[in-house]
C-alpha cells in the first residue's frame, strides 16, 4: 500500500476521533438545550428542593451555596452535609451542572391524571444529577420503601467532570500517539455509553433489592425496568434513552471506527516497511 493511502487513512481516523471528541464535549456542555419544562404550561421548571447535584465541596462557590444537614439514615451514603447549590455562568459548565440528559424515566399512576401529567412523572438522568420531578419521584419511591434517588451513583456522579477531562485528553493523545497501547486512548472513552448503562443497571438493581419496611405498599425485591415499560404495584414505568445517550452512542461509533481505521493503517504501514 502506498504511503499516500496510509496517510489518508490516518487522517480519516483523526477526523473521526475529532468528531467523537466534539460529541463527547457536546454531551457535557449541551444541557441548557434540554431544560425541563412543564408539559402542560410549557414553563421552565426549577425545583430548589432537588439536591441531586452534589459536586465535591472544593468545586462549590460557598458564598452561593447553603449547607443542609443530611438526614441521619442517609449520612452513611451521602455524608454529613449536602449543599443547595445551583451554579450559573461559565463555572456551571466547567463543573458539570450543564450536562445533557442521557436517560428518561416516567411513571404513571391513577392518581396522576393525564390532563395534568400527560407524560406522567418525568425524571431525566444526566451524568451528574437528576432533573424534572425528582422530589415527587422520591415521594413515590418512599411509598414502596425505596431510598431516594439521590443515593444513586453518588460518588460516580461527582467524578464525572474529571472523567470527561481525562477522556478528552485520551482522545487528543490518540490523534498523535501510535506507540504501544495507542488503541486504549480511543477505546476507553469510546465505551462511555456502556459505562453509563452498567452503572444505571447496577443502581436500579440496588434500589429494587434494598427496600425498607416503612413502605406503605409492600412489594417483593425486584429489578426495575432498565429499558422499556414495566409495572410496580399500581405504577406503570417507562425507561428510555434520551438525547445525551444518542450523542454518547455517536462517540462510541466514531471512536470505535477511528481505532479500527488507524489499526489498519498502522498494520499496512508496517508491511510496506518490511
pLDDT at 31 over 90: yes
Which pLDDT band holds residue 274 (cuts at 50, 70, 90)? Answer: low
Stretch 226-249: mean pLDDT: 93
Say which range, 129-143, 180-194, 211-225, 242-256, has the weakest mean pLDDT.
211-225
Reported as a single tens digit per residue, the pLDDT across 45-101 is 888 899 999 999 999 999 999 999 999 989 999 999 999 999 999 999 999 999 999
Q: What local confidence, expressed as pLDDT, does residue 9 receive?
A: 93
CA separation (Å) from 231 to 107, 115, 223? 9, 21, 11
Reported as a single tens digit per residue, the pLDDT across 179-229 is 999 999 999 999 999 999 999 999 999 999 999 888 777 888 999 999 999
CA separation (Å) from 203 to 102, 130, 193, 266? 15, 14, 16, 41
Q: Name the percent of the chain in helix, strand, coil, to the closest 5.
A: 50, 15, 35
Reported as a single tens digit per residue, the pLDDT across 221-237 is 999 999 999 988 778 99
Percent of the chain with pLDDT over 90: 75
Q: Contact at 8 Å (CB) between 22 and 254?
A: no
Stretch 134-154: mean pLDDT: 92
Q: What local confidence, expressed as pLDDT, does residue 1 receive?
A: 53
DSSP string, 28-76: HH-GGGG--B-TTT--B---TT-------GGGS-GGG-EEEEPPGGGHH
Stretch 150-178: mean pLDDT: 97
Domain containing 49: what range? 3-272
How long is the chain?
A: 274
Whole-angstrom distance between the N-terminal and C-terminal Cα of the chain?
12
Stretch 150-161: mean pLDDT: 96
pTM above 0.85, yes or no: yes
Q: Contact at 8 Å (CB) between 159 and 134?
A: no
Stretch 235-256: mean pLDDT: 96
Q: What are the grid coordinates assigned to 171, written together?
A: 482522545
Q: What local confidence, expressed as pLDDT, does residue 43 receive?
A: 82
Q: What local confidence, expressed as pLDDT, does residue 216 receive?
A: 79
Q: What local confidence, expressed as pLDDT, does residue 117 receive?
A: 86
Average pLDDT, the chain: 93
Residues 6 or more apart from 4 whose CB is under 8 A from it?
none
Q: What local confidence, expressed as pLDDT, does residue 137 receive?
A: 92
Give how many domains the chain has, as a whole number.
Answer: 1
DSSP annotation of 101 reads P
Amino acid at each position: 500500500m502506498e504511503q499516500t493511502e496510509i496517510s489518508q487513512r490516518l487522517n480519516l481516523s483523526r477526523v473521526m476521533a475529532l468528531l467523537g471528541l466534539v460529541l463527547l464535549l457536546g454531551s457535557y456542555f449541551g444541557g441548557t438545550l434540554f431544560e425541563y419544562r412543564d408539559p402542560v404550561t410549557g414553563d421552565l421548571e426549577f425545583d430548589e428542593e432537588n439536591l441531586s447535584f452534589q459536586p465535591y465541596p472544593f468545586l462549590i462557590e460557598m458564598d452561593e451555596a447553603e449547607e443542609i444537614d443530611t438526614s441521619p439514615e442517609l449520612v452513611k451514603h451521602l455524608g454529613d452535609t449536602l449543599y443547595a447549590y445551583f451554579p450559573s455562568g461559565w463555572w456551571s459548565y466547567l463543573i458539570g451542572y450543564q450536562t445533557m440528559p442521557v436517560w428518561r424515566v416516567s411513571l404513571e399512576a391513577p392518581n396522576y391524571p393525564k390532563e395534568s401529567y400527560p407524560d406522567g412523572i418525568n425524571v431525566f438522568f444526566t451524568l451528574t444529577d437528576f432533573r424534572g420531578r425528582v422530589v415527587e419521584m422520591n415521594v413515590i419511591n418512599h411509598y414502596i420503601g425505596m431510598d431516594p434517588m439521590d443515593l444513586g451513583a453518588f460518588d460516580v456522579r461527582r467524578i464525572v467532570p474529571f472523567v470527561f477531562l481525562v477522556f478528552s485528553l485520551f482522545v487528543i493523545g490518540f490523534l498523535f500517539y501510535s506507540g504501544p497501547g495507542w488503541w486504549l486512548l480511543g477505546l476507553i472513552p469510546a465505551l462511555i455509553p456502556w459505562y453509563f448503562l452498567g452503572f444505571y443497571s447496577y443502581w436500579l438493581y440496588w434500589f429494587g433489592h434494598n427496600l425498607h419496611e416503612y413502605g406503605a405498599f409492600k412489594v417483593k425485591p425486584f429489578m426495575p425496568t432498565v429499558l422499556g415499560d414495566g409495572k410496580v404495584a399500581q405504577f406503570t414505568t417507562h425507561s428510555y434513552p434520551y438525547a445525551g445517550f444518542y450523542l454518547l452512542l455517536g462517540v462510541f461509533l466514531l471512536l470505535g471506527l477511528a481505532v479500527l481505521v488507524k489499526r489498519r493503517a498502522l498494520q499496512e504501514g508496517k508491511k510496506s516497511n518490511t
